[in-house]
Amino acid sequence: MKKLLTLLVGIILLTTCADDSDFDNPTGIFIRVENASGVDFKDIFISSGSRGVEFGDLKAGKKSDFNEFENAYRYGFVRLMADGEELRLQPFDYVGETPLSNGYYTYKLNLDETDPENVRLSLEFFIVN
């Protein structure tokens, strides 16, 4: 019984782990969120292109799992809660922007707290190698 359980756990681990080759030949646009701030984020929503994706909550200094997007750009609409306050990034449009090609990308979100009365959300874009 112990051997059977060990074998079953091993099979599950092998089939659920991401293969490095997935990053070499992506079949879609995959974006994850990195919380580069010192504050936990809640209810993260990202829309870049045609449809939005809920990322849920993300602790300070952590990265989310990758989520697939139908199409996306180097920036997008972001809405989240930080310290009980709703923060947003709102692009005007994507006119003249080149859509992202298939691949893995990171939207690194941070807070600019230089003015404590006017905290701003920032987004940096990274291609994942």
pLDDT tens sequence across 28-44: 999 999 999 999 999 99
Q: pTM of the predicted model, to two decimals?
A: 0.79
- List the Cα angle 81/31/90 in 5-degree steps: 45
Going by C-alpha positions, the residue among 81, 24, 23 that lies closest to residue 32 is: 23
* pLDDT for position 113: 83
| 13 — pLDDT class (breaks 50, 70, 90) | very low
Least-confidence region, from 1-10, 17-26, 74-83, 90-99: 1-10
Phi, psi of 62 (to 5 degrees): -105, 165
Residue 32 confidence (pLDDT)? 97
DSSP structure string for 2-46: HHHHHHHHHHHHHHHSPPTHHHHS-SSEEEEEEE-SSS-EEEEEE
CB-neighbour burial class of residue 75 (10 A; exposed 0-12, middle 13-18, buried 19+)? middle
CATH superfamily of 23-127: Domain of unknown function DUF5300 (2.60.40.2890)
- Spell out the domain ranges in the chain: 23-127
Between CA 102 and CA 10 the distance in angstroms is: 31
Residue 106: pLDDT above 80? yes
End-to-end CA separation in angstroms for the chain: 42
pLDDT of residue 75: 93
Whether the Cβ atoms of residue 72 and residue 102 lie closer than 8 Å to each other? no
